[in-house]
Amino acid sequence: MTTTQKPAITLTLTESAAEEVKRFMAEEKVPLETAGLRLGVMPGGCSGFKYSLNIEDKPADDDIVIESNGVRLFVDGWSGQYLNGVTVDYRSNFQESGFAFDNPNATGGCGCGTSFTV
């Protein structure tokens, strides 16, 4: 029998980001016992990769599941290599509001804040 171990990654949701995710989860009426935030990386954006965020009812069988500030985070193995060490924050000010990513793996990015290069 072969056991495949999922890679360990570090991923942090700040307190303000967690509160915003919990608000979205309540609005979508997802089952809190199993639901979480899917964080992913997809090809595209102006710098080569872009982040994706979705509320989901439950993780996929092969997901890496991490808990941060009371929110379950679901990450697929491919995205995990690009999300290791990332901190996700929620910022709101007079001009804009939204999720912001601090990615130590990124070697570049663009002005939109949701696209990066590795």
The pTM of this model reads 0.82
> Domain for residue 6, yes or no?
no
Provide φ and ψ at 15, rounded to 5°.
-60, -40
Q: What CATH code is carried by the domain that includes residue 70?
A: 2.60.300.12
Residue 83, CA distances (Å) to 31, 75, 95 in order:
25, 9, 27
Determine the structural domain holding residue 20 and report its residue range. Answer: 11-117
> For residue 6, what pLDDT is reported?
63
> Domain for residue 80, yes or no?
yes
Determine the Cα angle at 55 with ends 85 and 77, to 5°.
45
What is the mean pLDDT of the segment spanning 53-69? Answer: 95
Number of domains in the chain: 1
> Domain for residue 4, yes or no?
no
> Domain for residue 3, yes or no?
no
pLDDT tens-digit readout, 10-34: 999 999 999 999 999 999 999 888 9
In 1-118, which residue ranges form alpha helices assigned H by DSSP? 15-28, 77-83
How far apart are alpha carbons 118 and 106 in whole angstroms?
Answer: 5
> Domain for residue 25, yes or no?
yes
Residues 6+ apart with CB under 8 A from 95: none
Q: How many CA atoms lie within 13 A of 37 on its CB side?
A: 27
